[in-house]
Amino acid sequence: MAMKPLRPCLHPGCGVLVSGGYCAAHQPQPKDRRSAEAQAWRWMYGTDVWKRLREDQLLREPFCRECARRGVRRYATDVDHIRDHKGDWALFTDPGNLESLCHSCHSRKTARDLWQNRREKRRR
């Protein structure tokens, strides 16, 4: 079996020869910037229970709740947990803890929640 020819690392200015991609020193960091705590419960979003809850929520409330508060009628694409479940299965699967949001409103709420959580951790 023929070996792949060695090529320079893809990192600009690095001359280390590798069989493909980046050298050990320049491996790209994973894009998932979630905390270890959040990564521990990320599996919940892949369950059949969540998929059914999400579908039911969007059928029950097809328009974005935040946009509706401003008098705008926009279809919801995301299902949000009103109270952060932090891995609590009962809170995660509670239909009363869900709201339908458009992607823009969901992203804005998520960013605001992350900022507040970081701020609270700094105060401790």
Residue 65 CA to residue 20 CA, distance in Å, equals 48
Instruction: Tell me the pLDDT tens digit for each residue of 60-86.
Output: 999 999 999 999 999 999 999 999 998
Residue 111 CA to residue 91 CA, distance in Å, equals 21
Burial class (CB in 10 A: 0-12, 13-18, 19+), 31: exposed
User: What residues are paired with 18 via a beta bridge?
Assistant: 7
Q: Map out the domains of the chain as residue ranges.
A: 55-124
Instruction: Tell me the pLDDT tens digit for each residue of 23-57.
Output: 988 888 766 566 677 778 889 999 999 999 999 99
The predicted model scores a pTM of 0.68
- Give the mean pLDDT of 85-103: 96
Burial class (CB in 10 A: 0-12, 13-18, 19+), 100: buried
Q: What is the DSSP letter of 107?
A: H
Confidence of residue 106 (pLDDT cuts 50, 70, 90): very high
pLDDT above 90 (res 122): no
